[in-house]
Amino acid sequence: MTEPGLSDYTLLMRADAAVWTQNGQQLFFFDTRQGMYYGTEAVGTRLWELLAEPQTPAELYRLLAAEYELEPELWRRDGITFLEEAVSVGILEKRTPVRGEDGLVP
């Protein structure tokens, strides 16, 4: 992954302040800080659904790859870019994982 601080095990979740709406398989976000709109198609919409609960990029890839037959290179190019941009504009937040006896538990 290319952004410092965003690894395969960074815990991510939708930001409470994220402004979004869904129209079929399309999802639209509004960045209230910069006044910008963003949109996704089916895979991005599914990614957003999965992010209702804290997830790591590694877990997101595993789930989406099973559903959409994603290639790792495509995920790195498109999926990670989406996550990085979503964190940078405040649509997603990094969460602090809880350490349990068996390791990290979201």
Span 19-48, pLDDT tens digits? 899 999 999 988 777 788 888 888 889 999
Q: How confident is the model at residue 16 (pLDDT cuts 50, 70, 90)?
A: confident
**Positive or negative CA dihedral for 51, 52, 53, 54?**
positive
Rounded Cα distance between 98 and 96, Å, is 7
Rounded Cα distance between 49 and 30, Å, is 17
Rounded Cα distance between 47 and 94, Å, is 15
pTM: 0.77
Q: What is the pLDDT of residues 42-80, one digit of tens each?
A: 888 999 999 999 999 989 988 988 888 878 788 877 888
